[in-house]
């Protein structure tokens, strides 16, 4: 097998390159099943990380992982971002944390498998990290079953109110704080 190209940090200056308008609006506009998942990203001192970038990938409500193009749809006349077409479910979201380390994603609940895959980038992080967000309604699978309860809890979103969930990511901490990160080998 060919050796892979090594990772390097995303650095502090990706802000005008990677985020795009509507990056967190994965659910087609006005879809009645839309849920909001939001939270903070924290460092090992418990401080919010204002310059991290989160990417989300998930199955559609029908369980399909085919996805669809058009997450970053552009106007061929002006080059400006048009955003998603409001119809297709692309399954892909990209959200930078804001100045207080907060992110919000509006999406449709995934079918089976019932989790959102998350890829975390940040200044200071030399190689991205993968984690998963499980909604409490579908928090049952092979991975969760393999974790001890205090670690498992870091992967399950907490219902805040109707259709709104809270999920914080702690990049560093003790076993009860640090989010479980995944190695796909």
Instruction: State which of positions 89-148 bind other proteins (CB under 8 A).
Output: 90-92, 110, 113, 115, 117, 119, 121-130, 142-143, 146-147
Q: Which residue lies nearer to other proteins by CB, 8 or 30?
A: 8
Taking CB under 8 A as the rule, which mask of x and - marks residues 13-42 in contact with other proteins? Answer: xxxxxx------------------------
Interaction between residue 1 and other proteins (CB under 8 A): yes
Closer to other proteins by Cβ: residue 6 or 32 = 6
**Neighbour tally for 155: CB within 10 Å:** 21
Query: Which of 77, 162 has the CB closer to other proteins?
Result: 77
Determine the Cα–Cα distance for residues 84 and 87; give it in Å rounded to an integer.
8
Label residue 152 exposed, middle or buried (CB < 10 Å: 0-12, 13-18, 19+).
Answer: middle
The number of residues making up the chain comes to 185
Shortest spacing between CB 178 and other proteins, in angstroms: 5
Residue 114 token pair: 């019932």
Say how many C-beta atoms besides its own lie within 10 A of residue 181's C-beta: 16
- Count Cβ atoms below 10 Å from residue 13 Cβ, excluding itself: 9
CB of 161 to other proteins, least distance (A): 27
Asked if 172 is part of the footprint of other proteins (rule: CB under 8 A), the reply reads: yes
Name the residue nearer to other proteins (CB basis): 92 or 167.
92
Question: Where are any strands of DSSP class E within 30-161?
Answer: 35-42, 52-58, 92-96, 102-107, 115-122, 129-134, 158-161
Q: Tell whether residue 75 is a contact of other proteins (CB under 8 A).
A: yes
Q: How far apart are CB 75 and other proteins at their closest, in Å?
A: 8
Among 31, 34, 36, 55, binds other proteins (CB under 8 A): 55
């Amino acid at each position: 097998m060919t050796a892979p190209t090594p990772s390097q940090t995303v650095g502090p200056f990706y802000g005008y390159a990677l985020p795009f308008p509507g990056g967190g609006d994965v659910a087609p506009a006005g879809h009645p099943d839309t849920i909001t998942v939001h939270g903070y990203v924290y460092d090992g001192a418990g401080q919010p990380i204002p310059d991290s970038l989160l990417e989300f990938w998930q199955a559609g409500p029908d369980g399909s992982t085919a996805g669809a193009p058009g997450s970053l749809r552009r106007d061929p006349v002006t080059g400006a971002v048009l955003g998603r077409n409001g119809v297709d479910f692309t399954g892909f979201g990209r959200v930078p944390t804001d100045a207080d380390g907060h992110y919000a994603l509006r999406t449709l609940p995934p079918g089976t498998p019932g989790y959102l895959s998350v890829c975390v980038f940040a200044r200071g992080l030399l190689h991205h990290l993968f984690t998963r967000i499980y909604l409490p309604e579908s928090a049952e699978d092979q991975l969760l079953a393999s974790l001890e309860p205090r670690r498992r809890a870091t992967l399950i979103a907490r219902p805040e109110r109707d259709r709104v969930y809270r999920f914080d990511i702690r990049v560093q901490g003790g076993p009860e704080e640090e989010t479980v990160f995944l190695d796909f080998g």
